Structure 1
Amino acid sequence: MKTCEIERCRIILVIDDTECGRVAAERLVFFGKAGLKADVYLVFGVDVEISPITSYEKEMKIYTKLRLKASNYVEFYKDRLEEAGFEVKKVKIVLGNILEEVLKLEKVLNPDVIVFGMEKKGFLKRLIHGDTYREIIFETRSPVMVCKPGYERKEVDYEKVKCFRCALAGDYG
């Protein structure tokens, strides 16, 4: 006799230390509290721009400081996700190009969704640094949920939400 086991989603959550990263993590926490069961693979990414003439000692100080800061963010959001009912399977801190890491993880995991926060970059920034998140959207085969900065969930009066021209409009509540 087979036992019926509820299948869990696989989610890759890509965050950073910006408002976009916070919104992405908090959206996922909300879904967890709403009942979504998933295994989360947390990727914390920081694009590092260090001058090529920086001394080795100074470079190591910068990397150490970034790793410490990243560890604090990761621990905070790992706890938040676990409180919401998710199982955080793996945590990666990437200093540099996160696109490669996300593409590798996606090949191995075949996730149900990739969640990340994204801020629109100006032309000059895109020209100089590229647009990693845009590449994630178009280079991956998995569905992608993009979270924008500044989003806060608000309560809705469902009486005001009506479909006036729908063929099957009706009250299904």
Structure 2
Amino acid sequence: MADSRVKHIRLMANDALRRANCDSPPVPIEEVARSLGAKVLFAPYEGDDLAGMLINGGDQPIIAVNSAHHKHRQRFTIAHECGHLVLGHSGESHIDRTFEVIRRDAKSSLATDISEVEANQYAAELLMPLKFLVRDLPGIRIDFESDEKVASLAKRYGVSAQAMAYRIANLFM
């Protein structure tokens, strides 16, 4: 993805944080979703591959999240679906003529669909904002062989250690 697009997505995520009055981690992702006009609903889905979906086209966008998944994955799913919402992505499948559906599933992590890549970038920018990490990382030496510091940051931000390690590596390495 082009640097200009990453910067644009970062600005959009920072705007959502500002609108939700969030200035420190963990980001209250459900409040952010509400500030963007979405309603968040949790329900168990069969199979592990469906994390959630954005249902857009009614009175209010709905972010449906798989309640059977780990809390960290649920938070990322909400942030990812917020990304689809604010980035104006069209649906991949349709329910009825008035409801667009964008699913968060295994395809979204393959980096083959630009809208999925962008929604993942938005989720990372929203849950682990650069401005927060810059504040939290000075003087901290990250050793990816030792998970202790990454795990501590992940806990602070309410994300998985894998997501935090990936974010730090992409921003600072």
Bigger radius of gyration, 1 or 2?
Answer: 1
Give the TM-score of the pair, scaled to structure 1. Answer: 0.23
Which has the larger share of strand?
A: 1
Which has the larger share of helix?
A: 2
